[in-house]
Amino acid sequence: MSLLERLFGRPKLMIEALGPRHAARVSVLHATSFAYGWDQPEVARMLSDPSILSDGVFSGQSRQPCGFVMSRLAADEAEILTICIDPAHRGRGLGHLLLERHLAQLVRRGVATLFLEVEDNNAPALALYGAFRFAKVGERPGYYPKPDGTRALALILRRDLG
């Protein structure tokens, strides 16, 4: 904890890099957002992987994120693996703030092109990605498993960062 944090407390919102110590919380957040979540050991491996960039958004005094974004880097390209916001914190613009910071981090790392996949009927995510000028470049039929056993269409989106 910095001296400023000790004197004045944590700001209302902070965005900072995530590490393996956040694996349990990240696993829970992912499970609240997707039909099939990632288990804690898998998340811990991902958060330890130097090719993965992860940022979390923290609210108030909490030391655990209320949302996160994770991308895999490969040369001058990256893919957003997931972005999640705790249901209790949705609708407040946290996803926008988190993605804005994450894109800046990717640019600093030399990423020129960013890809992601999103379920075709995920209206909040599509609105977020639209606000950041992602463009549809393809589809993956039957990509996302649903709890009822069906599979949903994934849209492949791209954004040039350079």
Kindly state whether residue 131 falls inside one of the protein's structural domains: no
User: With bands split at pLDDT 50, 70 and 90, how would you rate the model's confidence at 7?
Assistant: very low
9-63 pLDDT, tens per residue? 545 889 999 999 999 999 999 999 888 889 999 999 999 999 999 999 998 888 8
Least confidently predicted of 58-67, 94-103, 110-119: 58-67
Task: Decide if pLDDT at 103 tops 70.
Answer: yes
- The per-residue pLDDT for 3 is 46
Give Cα 115 to chain centroid, integer Å: 13
Question: Which residues, at least 6 apart from 81, have a Cβ–Cβ distance to it below 8 Å?
Answer: 46, 52, 70, 71, 72
> Contact, 43 vs 71, CB < 8 A?
no
123-162 pLDDT, tens per residue? 999 999 999 999 999 999 999 888 888 999 999 999 999 7
Side-chain half-sphere exposure of 144, counting CA atoms within 13 A: 20
Kindly state whether residue 24 falls inside one of the protein's structural domains: yes
Least confidently predicted of 28-37, 64-73, 94-103: 28-37
CATH of the domain at 53: 3.40.630.30
- The per-residue pLDDT for 2 is 54
Encode burial over 2-16: b for 16+ CB neighbours within 10 A, e otherwise: eeeeeeeebeebebe
What is the tally of structural domains in the chain? 1
Task: Decide if pLDDT at 4 tops 60.
Answer: no
Side-chain half-sphere exposure of 138, counting CA atoms within 13 A: 8
Kindly state whether residue 7 falls inside one of the protein's structural domains: yes
Q: Please tell me whether residue 152 adopts helix, strand or coil conformation.
A: strand
Kindly state whether residue 128 falls inside one of the protein's structural domains: no
Four-point Cα dihedral 110, 84, 145, 78, nearest 10: 0
Domain span at residue 23 reads: 3-116
Q: What is the DSSP letter of 76?
A: T
Residues taking part in catalysis: 117, 129
Confidence (pTM): 0.88
Kindly state whether residue 105 falls inside one of the protein's structural domains: yes
What is the rounded end-to-end Cα distance, in angstroms, of the chain?
Answer: 35
